[in-house]
Structure 1
Amino acid sequence: MAELLLHLTEGPLWEAARGIGTFEMSTRGRTLHEEGFIHCSLPHQLAGVAEMLYGTGSGAGNGAGSGDAELVVLVIDPDRLTAPVRYEPAAPGGEEFPHICGPVPVDAVVEVRPWPRKGDGPA
Structure 2
Amino acid sequence: MTELLHLTERPLWDAARGTGTYEMSTRGRTLHEEGFIHCSLPHQLPAVAELLYGAGGRAEAGDRDLVVLVIDTERLPAPVRYESLRPGGEEFPHIYGPIPVEAVVGVLPWPDKEGDLA
TM-score (norm 2): 0.90
Change (3 A) 1:62 1:112: farther
Match of 1:11 in 2: 10
SS of equivalent residue, structure 2 residue 89: coil
SS of equivalent residue, structure 1 residue 113: strand
Matched, 1:20 2:19: yes
Match of 1:30 in 2: 29
| TM-aligned CA deviation for residue 99 of structure 1 | 0.1
SS of equivalent residue, structure 1 residue 92: coil
Aligned-residue sequence identity (percent) comes to 73
| TM-aligned CA deviation for residue 61 of structure 1 | 2.7
Structure 1 CA distance, aligned partners of 2:93 and 2:58? 23
Cα shift readout 1:40-87 (whole Å, capped 9, x = no counterpart): 000000000000011142xx5352xx6943000000000000000000
SS of equivalent residue, structure 2 residue 68: strand
Structure 1 ranges of 4+ moved more than 4 A:
120-123
Match of 2:108 in 1: 113
Q: How does 1:90-105 map to 2 (within 5 A)?
A: 90-105=85-100
Q: What residue ranges of structure 1 are gaps of 5+ in the alignment?
A: none
Which sits farther off after the overlay, 89-98 or 7-16? 89-98
Match of 1:47 in 2: 46
Structure 2 CA distance, aligned partners of 1:42 and 1:7? 9
Match of 1:61 in 2: 58
SS of equivalent residue, structure 1 residue 8: strand
CA RMSD between the two structures = 1.8
Q: What residue ranges of structure 2 are gaps of 5+ in the alignment?
A: none
Match of 1:70 in 2: 65
TM-score (norm 1): 0.86
Q: How many residues align?
A: 115
Change (3 A) 1:79 1:33: same
Structure having the larger proportion of residues in helix: 2
